[in-house]
């Protein structure tokens, strides 16, 4: 599948986008996907007036490609975030020898239930571990604490996106790659497309994608404050 179509699918995994390329239900004002060859696609929040949204969509469709790896200059003064996006094609292997706990094993879920990291709210953690929002997941436990997680912050019938976190003292050991590989295995049978994305500044996360041999499909940039 072409990179632009994959990026469109990823955007629809992350946002509720209608047939007019308008983002429903809040979120960023503008999302722009850019392929490695500079082809672009965009979606604009439904709260943005038509007289602003339609010219923006036209500029993306007709405009020149931005500098490689940089967001397009579409909205001076807007806050821009985002970065590279990757397609995950299971099976992927991390090459790391570590025990990874899985959400499809009741004993693993029971083990991590009381090991909530401080950056998770109690209700969110209980929901995640119980197989609700954010599942499936994969985790690494060390010294009685959860030190690395890959979970599912976004999932639709079209696909799912990975969300990763590793405790600061345990980074650089390959744990994020190991949990992402297991996460991909958990979803491989019933999820048509798996995506992994990060920010332009997060080189550690980009190295995870490189370590797993993920296919780089482009960038998604988020604009707020049009």
Q: CA 116, CA 165: separation in Å to the nearest integer?
A: 13
H-type alpha helices, 138-202: 175-187
3-state secondary structure (DSSP) of residue 9? helix
What's the pLDDT tens digit per position in 183-221? 999 999 999 999 999 999 999 999 999 999 999 999 999
Residues 98 and 162 in one domain: yes
What's the pLDDT tens digit per position in 105-116? 999 999 999 999
Whole domain around residue 50: which residue ranges? 3-84+219-224
Torsion angle in degrees (nearest 10) through CA of 122, 127, 129, 131: 180
Residue 53 within any structural domain of the chain: yes
Mean pLDDT of 149-163: 97
Task: Give me the pLDDT at residue 1, please.
Answer: 79
Residues 53 and 112 in one domain: no
Burial of residue 66 (number of CB atoms within 10 Å: 0-12, 13-18, 19+): middle
Mean pLDDT of 56-82: 94
CB atoms within 10 A of CB 165: 18
Residues 142 and 74 in one domain: no
Residue 214 within any structural domain of the chain: no
Q: CA 160, CA 194: separation in Å to the nearest integer?
A: 5
pLDDT bucket at 226, cuts 50 / 70 / 90:
confident
Q: CA 4, CA 8: separation in Å to the nearest integer?
A: 6
Beta bridge partners of 24: 16
Whether the per-residue pLDDT at 101 is higher than 90: the answer is yes
Which CATH number goes with the domain that contains 171?
Answer: 3.40.630
Residue 212 within any structural domain of the chain: no
Average pLDDT, rounded, for the chain: 96
Task: Give me the pLDDT at residue 176, please.
Answer: 98
What's the pLDDT tens digit per position in 21-48? 999 987 899 999 999 999 999 999 999 9
Whether the per-residue pLDDT at 104 is higher than 90: the answer is yes
Whether the per-residue pLDDT at 9 is higher than 90: the answer is yes
Residues 56 and 95 in one domain: no
Mean pLDDT of 146-156: 98
**Helix H or strand E encompassing 69:** none
Whether the per-residue pLDDT at 75 is higher than 90: the answer is no
């Amino acid at each position: 599948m072409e990179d632009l179509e994959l990026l469109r699918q990823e955007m629809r995994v992350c946002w509720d986008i209608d047939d007019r390329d308008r983002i429903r239900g809040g979120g960023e004002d503008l999302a722009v996907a850019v392929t490695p060859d500079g082809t672009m696609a965009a979606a604009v929040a439904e709260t943005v007036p038509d007289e602003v949204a339609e010219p923006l969509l036209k500029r993306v469709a007709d405009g020149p490609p931005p500098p490689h790896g940089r967001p397009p200059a579409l909205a001076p003064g807007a806050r821009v975030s985002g970065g590279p996006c990757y397609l995950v094609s299971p099976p992927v292997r991390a090459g790391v020898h570590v025990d990874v706990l899985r959400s499809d094993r009741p004993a693993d879920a029971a083990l991590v239930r009381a090991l909530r990291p401080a950056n998770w709210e109690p209700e969110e953690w209980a929901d995640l571990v119980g197989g609700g929002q954010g599942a499936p997941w994969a985790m690494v436990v060390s010294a009685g604490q959860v030190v690395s997680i890959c979970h599912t912050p976004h999932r639709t019938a079209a696909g799912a996106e990975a969300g990763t976190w590793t405790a600061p003292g345990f980074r650089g050991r390959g744990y994020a790659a190991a949990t992402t590989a297991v996460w991909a295995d958990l979803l491989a049978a019933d999820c048509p497309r798996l995506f992994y994305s990060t920010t332009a500044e997060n080189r550690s996360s980009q190295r995870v994608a490189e370590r797993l041999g993920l296919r780089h499909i482009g960038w998604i940039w988020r604009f707020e404050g049009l």
